[in-house]
Every structure is written in structure tokens, then in C-alpha cells.
């Protein structure tokens, strides 16, 4: 698994948007600027293959493997290639992406609050709790833009969410004990505590 992206320059944004809307393999996102690439697995289940996002002067295709990225590129170039110029493909290890995000977040943190350690720890727990209370329902790139609550409806999704939570807990374990967040309630709420 890897975070893979194809970056395109767009000439004729309206034409590209119309071509993508007309493609039966793509669903328009709620924001009107993104598309979801899906494949029917059965009458009840579809598999998310990737996401496309129209930007100011570009288009980005995001997939979770290089093979899917190649298939996605072939699809969008077949339907909108006249208006697109491929710029580059990028690949990132998912654990590296999480590590980069954590490092970036740490750089933005204030180095010292001036509070006693126990008060600082309690304040951090409250902030994290407010943040993570919405986490189960937020669309996540690591889950193909599904929320954790949506993903756990399938066996594969349960494993993906469990792996993601385990990696979050592993990163949390590197913090001082007073600053660690307890994700136990999320495992329980999503009904996957048996995979912990």
C-alpha cells in the first residue's frame, strides 16, 4: 500500500469537469470539485479505487497503489486527455505520511505553555478529545476518503481501520505519558476492539 498521486495541468477546466461528470465510473463529490472512482464488487458493495480533485489549474488523481494509479490514469486520459498534460507521479509510504504529519504538527506546537505538567497534560487531553470526537465520522485519505465508521462495515475496512488506529497508538506511545491520548473508546465505539 502506498499513497500515489498523478498531477496534471488542466487546459479548459469546464471541459475537463464535464468529461469527468459524464464518465460512468466516476461519482461527483459533494463539493462539486472532486470525483470518486468506484467499482461494483457485488450488488450491495462497491470498492473505492481512487479520488480525483480539480484544483485551480490542475487535476490530482489519488490512489492507494501504483497499479490503481496506472489504471486511473488510463481512465481519465481516455475521457479527458485532450485537455490534460501529465506533470508527475508521486508515491509516499503511508507510515511516512503519518510521520510527516506528526512532525509537522509538533513543529507548530508551542514549546512550553508555562503550565505545571499535570495541568498541561489535562489541557492537551481535552484538546485531543474534542478533535478525536469527530474522527470516526471524518472522511480520511488513508481509508480512501471513507470515514472510519463507513469503513468498518466491511471485513477489509475493519482491518484497515484497526491498522490505522494501531499506528496512531504507536505514534502516541512516543509521547510523554502525561500527554498520551487513549484511543480505547474509538475501538469500542466502532466495534473493533476484538482487533486491538
Arithmetic mean of pLDDT, 163-171: 84
Arithmetic mean of pLDDT, 81-90: 93
Tens-digit pLDDT profile for residues 37-85: 988 878 778 888 999 999 888 999 999 889 999 999 999 999 999 999 9
Average pLDDT over all residues of the chain: 83
Do 98 and 72 share a structural domain? no
Do 185 and 108 share a structural domain? yes
Tens-digit pLDDT profile for residues 115-158: 676 776 677 777 777 878 888 998 887 788 889 999 999 999 99
Q: What is residue 114's predicted lDDT score, i.e. its pLDDT? A: 64
Q: What is residue 111's predicted lDDT score, i.e. its pLDDT? A: 44
Given 68, 92, 116, the domain boundary residue is: 92
What is the C-alpha separation between 29 and 142, in angstroms, rounded? Answer: 17
Q: Which of 25-29, 93-97, 135-139, 143-147 has the lowest mean pLDDT?
A: 93-97
Do 110 and 86 share a structural domain? no
Percentage of the residues of the chain whose pLDDT score is greater than 90: 41
CB 52 within 8 A of CB 59: yes
What is the C-alpha separation between 3 and 62, in angstroms, rounded? Answer: 7
Do 124 and 75 share a structural domain? no
Given 92, 111, 137, the domain boundary residue is: 92
Binning pLDDT at 50, 70 and 90, where does residue 182 land?
Answer: confident
Residue 4 makes CB contacts below 8 A (sequence gap 6+) with 62, 63, 64, 65, 66, 68, 69, 89, 90, 91, 92
Do 131 and 60 share a structural domain? no
> Domain limits at 122?
94-195
Q: How many domains does the chain have?
A: 2
Do 103 and 69 share a structural domain? no
Amino acid at each position: 500500500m502506498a499513497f500515489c498521486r498523478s498531477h496534471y495541468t488542466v487546459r479548459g477546466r469546464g471541459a475537463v469537469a464535464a468529461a469527468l461528470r459524464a464518465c460512468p465510473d466516476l461519482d461527483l463529490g459533494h463539493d462539486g470539485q472532486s470525483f470518486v472512482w468506484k467499482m461494483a464488487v457485488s450488488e450491495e458493495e462497491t470498492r473505492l479505487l481512487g479520488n480525483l480533485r480539480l484544483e485551480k489549474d490542475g487535476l490530482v488523481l489519488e490512489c492507494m497503489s501504483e497499479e490503481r494509479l496506472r489504471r486511473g490514469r488510463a481512465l481519465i486520459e481516455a475521457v479527458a486527455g485532450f485537455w490534460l498534460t501529465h506533470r508527475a507521479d508521486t508515491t509516499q509510504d503511508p507510515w511516512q505520511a503519518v510521520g510527516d504529519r506528526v512532525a509537522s504538527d509538533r513543529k507548530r506546537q508551542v514549546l512550553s505553555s508555562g503550565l505545571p505538567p499535570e495541568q498541561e497534560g489535562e489541557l492537551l487531553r481535552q484538546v485531543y478529545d474534542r478533535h478525536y470526537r469527530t474522527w470516526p465520522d471524518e472522511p480520511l485519505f488513508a481509508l480512501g476518503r471513507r470515514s472510519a465508521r463507513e469503513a468498518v462495515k466491511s471485513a477489509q475496512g475493519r482491518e484497515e481501520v484497526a491498522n490505522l488506529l494501531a499506528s496512531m497508538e504507536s505514534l502516541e506511545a512516543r509521547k510523554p505519558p502525561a500527554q498520551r491520548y487513549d484511543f480505547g473508546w474509538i475501538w469500542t465505539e466502532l466495534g473493533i476492539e476484538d482487533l486491538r
